[in-house]
């Protein structure tokens, strides 16, 4: 069901790879709610994905951009403003990667070159996106920026490895830049801490399927799906949440507030 929450709004969506990705679901929902937007991803990721199908479905143009390249981001924002007919009202940052996790390197023996690459892609890219938009004045007054994160920024999940630090840094950027952009243009910046979700990227984490099952048993409402996250993003992009900024917002079925659940206790055979 659509409510025209984003009627007349313009945006940029980073990270739609295939129909399993959260960014893909956000694009579909934003389109249903009346938004117009450009789609972007790194050139290498675009060759792996099916983003052209999403562009056709939503009537969007694709602008390839490496989120770690300021030059690419300048081109992305400039072209988006031109295509959409003015500054954007919302941006979704759905970008993350750990080479150490992909290559199975243990946290106690990290490759620091790989760590730096993952940190740049997953966290510093968010600052680059915001700083580029700031300098080009590419986000409209009362705009909304959302980045996707995970509770490993606050709690230890051993197999999440150095991505935990990346997400903690990402959340800090949202708070710090949220202050400056709020003062300047009333732009709000938030992160959504999502349940573990079956995406192409998420499936690369060791033991991911088992952890999804654990989180499901721990969460009173069950795990939040990619569609749930898309709805949350749309709400944050809309004018309904104009005073929400600099927040890390949990979309996890209650997992973040739990100590233990009856289902988990039963699983381990506790009477």
**Has 150 been annotated as catalytic?**
yes
Q: Annotated binding residues for NAD(+), as ranges?
A: 15, 21-22, 95, 167
Q: Annotated binding residues, as ranges?
A: 15, 21-22, 95, 167
How far apart CA 234 and CA 246 sit, in angstroms, is 17
Q: Note whether 181 and 137 are within 8 A (CB).
A: no
Which residue of the set 160, 214, 232, 250 is catalytic?
A: 160
172's tokens: 């800090």
**Has 250 been annotated as catalytic?**
no
213's tokens: 């099952």
**Phi and psi at residue 266, to the nearest 5°:** -65, -35
Which residue of the set 107, 112, 150, 250 is catalytic?
A: 150
> Which of 34, 40, 41 lies closest to 10, judged by CA?
34
How far apart CA 271 and CA 265 sit, in angstroms, is 8
**Phi and psi at residue 25, to the nearest 5°:** -65, -40
Q: Among all residues, which ones are annotated catalytic?
A: 150, 160
């Amino acid at each position: 069901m659509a409510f025209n929450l984003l009627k007349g709004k313009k945006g940029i969506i980073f990270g739609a790879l295939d129909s399993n990705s959260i960014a893909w679901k956000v694009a579909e929902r934003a389109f249903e709610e009346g938004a117009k937007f450009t789609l972007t991803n790194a050139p290498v990721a675009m060759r792996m994905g099916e983003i052209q199908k999403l562009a056709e479905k939503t009537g969007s143009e694709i602008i390839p951009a490496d989120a770690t390249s300021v030059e690419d981001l300048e081109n992305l924002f400039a072209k988006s403003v031109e295509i959409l007919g003015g500054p954007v009202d919302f941006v979704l940052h759905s970008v993350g990667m750990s080479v150490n996790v992909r290559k199975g390197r243990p946290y106690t023996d990290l490759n620091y070159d790989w760590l730096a690459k993952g940190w740049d892609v997953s966290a510093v890219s968010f600052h680059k996106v915001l700083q580029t938009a700031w300098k080009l004045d590419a986000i409209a007054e009362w705009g909304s920026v959302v980045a996707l994160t995970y509770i490993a920024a606050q709690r230890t999940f051993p197999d999440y490895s150095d991505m935990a630090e990346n997400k903690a840094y990402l959340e800090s950027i949202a708070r710090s830049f949220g202050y400056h952009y709020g003062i300047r243009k009333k732009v709000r910046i938030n992160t959504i801490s999502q349940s573990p979700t079956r995406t192409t990227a998420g499936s690369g984490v060791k033991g991911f399927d088992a952890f999804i099952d654990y989180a499901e048993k721990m969460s009173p409402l069950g795990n939040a799906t990619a569609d749930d996250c898309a709805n949350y993003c749309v709400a944050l992009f809309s004018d309904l949440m104009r005073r929400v900024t600099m927040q890390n917002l949990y979309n996890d079925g209650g997992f973040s507030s739990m100590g233990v659940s009856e289902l988990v206790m039963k699983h381990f055979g506790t009477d």
